[in-house]
C-alpha cells in the first residue's frame, strides 16, 4: 500500500479526519505504538499535524508517520491528568479573543497566552471583541490596555464581530495560513468565526447568569476552511491555560519589558521577587514596568514553580 500525505483537520481522540493533497477527507486511526512513544502528551496528534497514512480495505486510513512540527500551541492537561495537551500544530497565527464586557477583559489570561505563544514560536494577535457593548469606563480601560500592549510590540485589535469593517481588517490580518482562535468561553469566539465564515455555523451559547462566565460550546479541536483560503483551528474554550516546559528563572524572557533588564540583575537565575540588586524590581518600583503586568508575572511564576 502506498502512503498518502495529508493534514489533520479534526481530532476526537480516537478518530482523525485527514485531508490529503487532493480528493475527499479520510477518517484515520492511530496505532497504539504512537501513544506509547508520546507518554507526556494526552494525545500524540493535534489538528494541523502533517501525517502519512495508508488506506485499509474498509476505506478507513491508518496513520503511519507523524511529520515534524514547526510549532505548537500547548497547555497543561486538565481534569487532573498528567502531561500536556497540544491544541494545534504548525500554526501561522494565534488569535486571543477577549471581550470588553460579558465577560470582562482579564489580563492574566492574555499574559499567559502571550508567554505560551512566545515560548512556542507562534505569532500572537490579541483581539478585543464586543466593543459595541463598551461603557465609557470600559473604553477608558481599553485605551490604557492598548497603550500598554501595543507599546510592548504586540499585535492588538479592538472591534466587534458585528462590525463589517472589523471583520475585513481581521480577515486581511489572518491571510491564508492556519489560524488559531482561543480565549475564555463567552468572549464571542464562535460568533466571530461565524461572522468571518458564515458557512461554518459554529454553535454559540450565552454567558452564564450565575458565574458571568461563558458556557462551553466547542468540545473538540477542528480545522475549519475559511473563504479566503487556509484554515482556522477551533478549540474548546479554555479556563485552565497552564504553562508547559518553562522554568522560573527563564519566565521573564517572555516578558519584553523585562528581557533587556535581566542582564543587569546580580544573579543570573534571578526570579525578580526577593533577590538583592534586581534590575526588574527596580524598574517596577520606578514605574517602568506596568504593575498589572508584574502582578501577572508573579502569578505565572507561582504556577510554573
- Each residue's pLDDT tens digit, 139-152: 999 999 999 999 99
Q: Please give the Cα distance from 218 to 181 (Å, whole number).
A: 12
pLDDT of residue 235: 65
Q: Which of 138-152, 177-191, 263-277, 279-293 has the lowest mean pLDDT?
A: 177-191
Position 300 confidence tier, pLDDT thresholds 50, 70, 90: very high
Domain over 74-81+86-234 is classified CATH 3.40.50.300: yes
Q: Which pTM was predicted? A: 0.81
Cell 515560548 belongs to 119
Segment 98-121 shows an average pLDDT of: 88
What is the per-residue pLDDT across 173-212, written as a single tens digit (0 to 9) for each? 988 889 988 888 788 888 888 888 877 665 544 444 433 4
pLDDT of residue 284: 97
Domain at 4-68, CATH from 3.40.50.10800, 2.40.50.140, 2.30.40.10, 3.30.1360.170: 2.40.50.140
Q: Which CATH superfamily is domain 251-304 in?
A: Probable gtpase engc; domain 3 (1.10.40.50)
Residues of the chain with CATH 3.40.50.300: 74-81+86-234
HSE value, Cβ hemisphere, 13 Å, CA-based, for 200: 23
pLDDT of residue 302: 93
Residues of the chain with CATH 1.10.40.50: 251-304
pLDDT of residue 74: 78
Q: Please give the Cα distance from 246 to 252 (Å, whole number).
A: 10
Residue 34 has pLDDT above 90, yes or no: no
Position 215 confidence tier, pLDDT thresholds 50, 70, 90: very low
Of all residues in the chain, what percent carry a pLDDT higher than 90?
A: 54
Residue 283 has pLDDT above 80, yes or no: yes
- Classify the C-alpha dihedral 43-48-51-54 as positive or negative: positive
What is the per-residue pLDDT across 226-257, written as a single tens digit (0 to 9) for each? 888 889 887 654 444 557 778 899 999 999 99
Of all residues in the chain, what percent carry a pLDDT higher than 70?
A: 84
Q: Is there a cis peptide before residue 103, judged by omega within 30 degrees of 0?
A: yes
Residues of the chain with CATH 2.40.50.140: 4-68
Amino acid at each position: 500500500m502506498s502512503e498518502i500525505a495529508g493534514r489533520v483537520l479534526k481530532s476526537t481522540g480516537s478518530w482523525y479526519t485527514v485531508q490529503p493533497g487532493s480528493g475527499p477527507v479520510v477518517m484515520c486511526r492511530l496505532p497504539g505504538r504512537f501513544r506509547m512513544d508520546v507518554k507526556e502528551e494526552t494525545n500524540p496528534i493535534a489538528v494541523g499535524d502533517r501525517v502519512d497514512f495508508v488506506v485499509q480495505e474498509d476505506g478507513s486510513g491508518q496513520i503511519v508517520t507523524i511529520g515534524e512540527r514547526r510549532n505548537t500551541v500547548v497547555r497543561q492537561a486538565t481534569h487532573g491528568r498528567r502531561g500536556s495537551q497540544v491544541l494545534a500544530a504548525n500554526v501561522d497565527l494565534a488569535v486571543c479573543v477577549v471581550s470588553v464586557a460579558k465577560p470582562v477583559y482579564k489580563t492574566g489570561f492574555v499574559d499567559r497566552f502571550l508567554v505560551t505563544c512566545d515560548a512556542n514560536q507562534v505569532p500572537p494577535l490579541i483581539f478585543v471583541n464586543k466593543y459595541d457593548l463598551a461603557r465609557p469606563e470600559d473604553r477608558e480601560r481599553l485605551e490604557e490596555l492598548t497603550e500598554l500592549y501595543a507599546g510592548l510590540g504586540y499585535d492588538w485589535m479592538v472591534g466587534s464581530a458585528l462590525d463589517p469593517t472589523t471583520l475585513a481588517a481581521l480577515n486581511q490580518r489572518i491571510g491564508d495560513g492556519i489560524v488559531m482562535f482561543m480565549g475564555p468561553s463567552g468572549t464571542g469566539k464562535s460568533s466571530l468565526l461565524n461572522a468571518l465564515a458564515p458557512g461554518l455555523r459554529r454553535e454559540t451559547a450565552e454567558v452564564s447568569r450565575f458565574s458571568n462566565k461563558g458556557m462551553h460550546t466547542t468540545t473538540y479541536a477542528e480545522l475549519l476552511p475559511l473563504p479566503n483560503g487556509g484554515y482556522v483551528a477551533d478549540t474548546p474554550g479554555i479556563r485552565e491555560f497552564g504553562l508547559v516546559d518553562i522554568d522560573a528563572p527563564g519566565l521573564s524572557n517572555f516578558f519584553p519589558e523585562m528581557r533587556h533588564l535581566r542582564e543587569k540583575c546580580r544573579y543570573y537565575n534571578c526570579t525578580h521577587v526577593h533577590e538583592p540588586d534586581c534590575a526588574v524590581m527596580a524598574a517596577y518600583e520606578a514605574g517602568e514596568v506596568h504593575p498589572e503586568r508584574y502582578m501577572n508575572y508573579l502569578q505565572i511564576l507561582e504556577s510554573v514553580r
